Amino acid sequence: MNVARSFSSLLVTGGCGFIGSAFIRGLFSNLAFDGRVVNLDALTYAGNPESLAGAVDPERYVFVHADIRDADAVRAVIERYAVDGIVNFAAESHVDRSIVAPDAFIETNVVGTFKLLELVRENPSLHFHHVSTDEVYGSLGPTGAFREDTAYAPNSPYAASKAASDHLVRAYARTYGLSVTVSHGSNNYGPYQFPEKLIPLMILNLFESEPLPVYGDGSNVRDWLHVEDHAEAIWAIVRSAPAGETYNIGGNAERTNLQVVRSLIQAVVEETGRPASALESLLRFVTDRPGHDKRYAIDASKLQRELGFSPSREFESGLRQTVSWYARHGAWVERVRSGAYRDWIQTNYRDRTPK
């Protein structure tokens, strides 16, 4: 049975990242939230408050520079701002980084989620939504799709850390009777994504005539979900899903990596008028990622059936808009790459961490 949750003060963790910032921009626009948003973010390399510039109502928005592992800081935020719901986006999110340096993934994704759950245990009237990934289900063969009851089989340290956090969320709900929901999104794309993930990396390399490194033979398949569809789906789940439920969120856009790169080449040709042959010549097949999952696909029928949600953005036009966005936001790219937005923070934000 669906519910109708409402919130007056929502704590969003990781709200300066790619998806968290899209969610907060949505809360102040099409998602039409009228309460307070408290954005708590540690500002790692992936967290950029500039992604929210001009998109929030300063009367109803608070930024707190803190780490989700710091229970005292988060507890103070919950008390000071009378938080009645948490949406947890804070995470280390890049598979390649997790292969090279997994420690931070265990710290933030596992320990950080555990610390948040302990605080929900102290404040059991809070609703907790955990943003997870389809990568916890492992890798598919040529057919089939992940369902919510598919067995977990994570293959990267990133996926394992997300799986571990999902298990903690489930266990805390069962053991302590907490109100939780969990979502498993597929690969996201759209504006404001840090240029280490496939799509923004390829777009910028195309703009700059740098090589396009395709892992293996480019035949790995991902399902692509526009970040704004993802934000809308999460909001539908947070507000309406029964406690204890989990939902897969997909974009109805399964593509091989090579198809994605070729679509990007086409989109950059349209954007810049450069000849396709010059861009095609940048393609490089490089050594594969260890443990590289072959295929992800999402069965999102539960979300459609129970909450009436399905994504509305079509992949190829979403890609073209994303290419245009990166073409028009060179200054944003410049600053995230250099970390220079940290200076911008000093001049534009007061550190409002409760003392």
Distance from C-alpha of 246 to C-alpha of 180, rounded to nearest angstrom: 9
Give the strand pairing for 221-226 and 254-256.
antiparallel
Question: Is residue 204 at the binding interface for ligand TYD, with CB under 6 A as the rule?
Answer: no
| Annotated active-site residue in 50, 67, 92, 134 | 134
Strand order in the sheet with 85-88: 61-65, 36-41, 9-13, 85-88, 127-133, 179-185, 246-249
In the complex, the smallest distance separating the C-beta of residue 131 from ligand TYD, rounded to whole angstroms, is 14
Q: Is 344 helix (H, G, I), strand (E, B) or coil?
A: helix
Partner touching 39 among ligand TYD, ligand NAD, none, CB below 5 to 8 Å by kind: none
In the complex, the smallest distance separating the C-beta of residue 187 from ligand NAD, rounded to whole angstroms, is 5
Asked if 310 contacts 304 with a C-beta cutoff of 8 angstroms, the reply is: yes
Question: Is residue 230 at the binding interface for ligand TYD, with CB under 6 A as the rule?
Answer: no
**In the range 119-148, which residues lie near ligand NAD by CB under 6 A?**
131, 133
**Residue choice 7, 63, 81, 89 for contact with ligand NAD (CB under 6 A):** 89
Say if residue 177 is exposed, middle or buried (CB neighbours under 10 Å; 0-12, 13-18, 19+). Answer: exposed
Distance from C-alpha of 189 to C-alpha of 128, rounded to nearest angstrom: 25
Q: At residue 328, what are phi and psi to the nearest 5 degrees?
A: -95, -5
In the complex, the smallest distance separating the C-beta of residue 185 from ligand NAD, rounded to whole angstroms, is 3
| Annotated active-site residue in 158, 192, 296, 341 | 158
Q: Is 216 helix (H, G, I), strand (E, B) or coil?
A: coil
Binding mask 169-208 for ligand NAD (x = CB under 6 A): ----------------x-xx-----x--------------
Question: Is residue 73 at the binding interface for ligand NAD, with CB under 6 A as the rule?
Answer: no
**Residue choice 11, 31, 38, 46 for contact with ligand NAD (CB under 6 A):** 46
Question: Is residue 229 at the binding interface for ligand NAD, with CB under 6 A as the rule?
Answer: no
Q: Is 40 helix (H, G, I), strand (E, B) or coil?
A: strand
Structure tokens at 29: 């626009």
In the complex, the smallest distance separating the C-beta of residue 174 from ligand NAD, rounded to whole angstroms, is 21
Distance from C-alpha of 74 to C-alpha of 84, rounded to nearest angstrom: 13
What residues make contact with ligand TYD under the rule CB under 6 A?
A: 95, 135, 187, 197-198, 201, 213-215, 220, 222, 257, 289
What residues make contact with ligand NAD under the rule CB under 6 A?
A: 13-14, 16-20, 41-44, 46-47, 67-69, 89-91, 93, 108, 112, 131, 133, 162, 185, 187-188, 194
